[in-house]
Amino acid sequence: MVTIRPKKIVEMGVTGKSLSHSKTAVRVRDLNVIIDEPTERGGTNEGPAPVETVLAALAACTNRIGHKCAQKNEVDIRSMDIDVVVVFDRRGADMELEVDVPFREIRMTIDLETTAPDDAVEAMKSDLAKFCPVSKLIRQAGTRITEEWRVTRRAEAGA
């Protein structure tokens, strides 16, 4: 029997096509995504702005890797909601000044509902910080990410 193992180092890519000064059509696998600016910044508001796309990727990666870490640490996730807010220095994007760290701070609030004990949740949170590639990338760029975890517990049904 032959075991097929997935590659651990892979190349991934997207293709972007300029549709206007603010709107980009991005092809991701077999998906089409529009990234655009809001109308107040000269866009057509047909999709999230580039910075919003980064924040969305952080929320999505926190969700995906968070679930993997939860499974590893035997944390049942009944629900998980993730709010992400950035303190963004727009001077670079506005071409006023080169800004080394445009995202000064990102604040994430993660509402987790589980029946798992505190130690399992803490292990999950620790693993998430170690393994979420998007948060690691942002942190290594110099951005401080603060997380507020609001954990609620509901007794098992029938308990």
Q: Does 135 score more than 80 pLDDT?
A: yes
Banded pLDDT at 156 (limits 50, 70, 90): low
Helix 50-72 crosses helix 133-140 at what angle (to 10 degrees)? Answer: 130
**42: alpha, beta or left, given left = phi > 0 and alpha = psi -120 to 50?**
left
pLDDT, position 58: 98
Indicate the DSSP class of residue 120: H
pLDDT, position 43: 95
Angstrom distance (rounded) from CA 143 to CA 133: 14
Q: Does 92 score more than 80 pLDDT?
A: yes
Question: pLDDT tens digit string along 136-154?
Answer: 999 999 999 999 999 999 7
Q: Which residue has the higher pLDDT, 152 or 4?
A: 152
Q: Which residue has the higher pLDDT, 5 or 27?
A: 27
pTM of the model: 0.91
Banded pLDDT at 5 (limits 50, 70, 90): confident
